[in-house]
Amino acid sequence: FINCLLLSVHQSDRAHSRITGWGGRREISDAHGPQQKRGARAWVQSFEEIPHTGKYGWVNLMKFWRQGYFRQLHKHMEGTFNALGPIYREHVGTQKTVNIILPSDIAELFQSEGRLPQRMTLKPWATHREIRQHSKGIFLKNGEEWRSDRVLLNKEVLMSSAVQRFIPLLDEVARDFCKMLQKKVEREGIGQKGKRSLTVDPSPDLFRFALEAICNVLYGERIGLFSSSPSLESQKFIWAVEQMLATTPPLLYLPHQLLLHIGASLWTQHATAWDNIFSHADARIQKCYRRLSSFQGQGSKAEAAGGQYPGVLGQLMEKGQLSLDLIKANITELMAGGVDTTAVPLQFAFFELGRNPEVQEKVRQQVRTSWALADGDPLVALQGAPLLRGIIKEVLRLYPVGITVNRMPVKDIILQNYRVPAGTTVSVCLYPMGRSSDVFDDPMRFDPGRWSSGKGGQRISGFRSLAFGFGARQCVGRRIAENEMQLLLMHILLNFNISVLSTEDIKTTHTLILQPETPPKITFSKL
């Protein structure tokens, strides 16, 4: 069976090369202006005429497996856009998508989504919830069910009033991380006392930082991951998240229901990872629930807790607008989604600042000025240092955590003069877009200042920074993640100079998120 599929792949490659001239790139319409239409509406081409990578899903799946595309999906997308132009369709296993890259097409897609944006459901995740009889959080919902829950969650995690409540909790964790790093540099580093430096892989500490930070926001309490003997259970949670992310991509292309019924090891590993995630989150939720319940009858939970913010969980429980099962489902999703998605971009941020010392010093000077004027207020300090936000945008442009954002249009739309039917999964491919000279000037240059409005009389137009999604379905944890990363960078730059051993580009790999094949070594030198 495998040999037959491989023969089919070989024949398909040859035929596809003859038909499309695989190495020849189609002309790309101007990314900075209106989309070019070839004449009147009668000229609009059919869906079937969209360039494609091969018609046969299972043949393409074998090609993916044979050529290692699961781990290099971002590179595969980049190469395919270079070969076929700014739009192509792909059928791999059970998955069918139309992939786009240009802001003009992205605008068309998002402007057609309506009040109930539809996106592809991660079916392996949804199946796990169903067989374990867990409620689904908003990440796995569509339609009115999604909207009603999302509106309530927005008030606790996205609105400016919510940000003002949880910024001090994130700042506390960022400060403590820097204190821990200072002690580590003094203890293990080299050089004169007080000016020591230490070269280290920061990724294990960054994962602990991310989990400590998200738990402080969600539960309103610290879990002690910066101690000399951090909890083994918390480390197991981090491992479970990594296992869940690693096993998701192949399950998106394979018939996961069949794998479930035959007890395939891939499905077993995936389900076990989710079981461990839910078990750990449930223990945290139950502990927090008991603590907050003890305040019953003492006024608001915040007042009973000594005026401190009780966390997102406490706020949701106090308002009582979501059932406890739905609160658990969404808190678990936020907790699982709040570790790798901030720890990994911070690795890339340290690397880029280390190999761009002039950028690092420019940001540091802005941070120092802002911090001196902020009188210890972290929110004011961030507002006065827009280059910190620019760093996050640049890192996520070059190294997007999730390499696609997808929607399923509720009506037929026209993209690159092709008709795309309603209900088609359309993926915005962030990695190739962020590195495309058709979209960005000098795309491989790390320049946080490019996002400043009015720079050099030029302003970057919309639909180019989409790492957190767009509109009503943007990442619900966006404000937590953005502020968490900016606060850590701010305190690191105030206390350390960052350098790298090698300025060579980092090799990246794709699980469900983009990450370094090997975490870069970073040198932290005390200022």
Q: Is 475 annotated as a binding residue?
A: yes
Give the other-Cβ count within 10 Å of 365's Cβ. 13
E strands in 364-457: 404-407, 413-415, 418-420, 426-429
Rounded Cα distance between 426 and 408, Å, is: 6
Contact predicate 86/29, CB 8 Å: yes
Q: At 384, list the tokens.
A: 């006065």
Select from 522, 494, 491 the least CA-distant residue to 189.
Answer: 522
Rounded Cα distance between 102 and 16, Å, is: 24
Rounded Cα distance between 475 and 96, Å, is: 23
**Residue appearing with tokens 């690191």:** 492
What does 202-262 look like in DSSP terms, one character per residue? -HHHHHHHHHHHHHHHHHSS---TTSSS--HHHHHHHHHHHHHHHHHHHHHHS-HHHHHHH
Q: At 50, list the tokens.
A: 């969209």
Select from 350, 369, 386 the least CA-distant residue to 489.
Answer: 350
508-510 and 514-516 strand pairing: antiparallel
E strands in 342-459: 404-407, 413-415, 418-420, 426-429
Query: What are the residues facing 418 on neighbouring strands?
Result: 45, 415
Rounded Cα distance between 342 and 486, Å, is: 10
Helix axes 386-398, 357-374, angle to 10 degrees: 140
List the binding residues: 475
List the binding residues for heme: 475
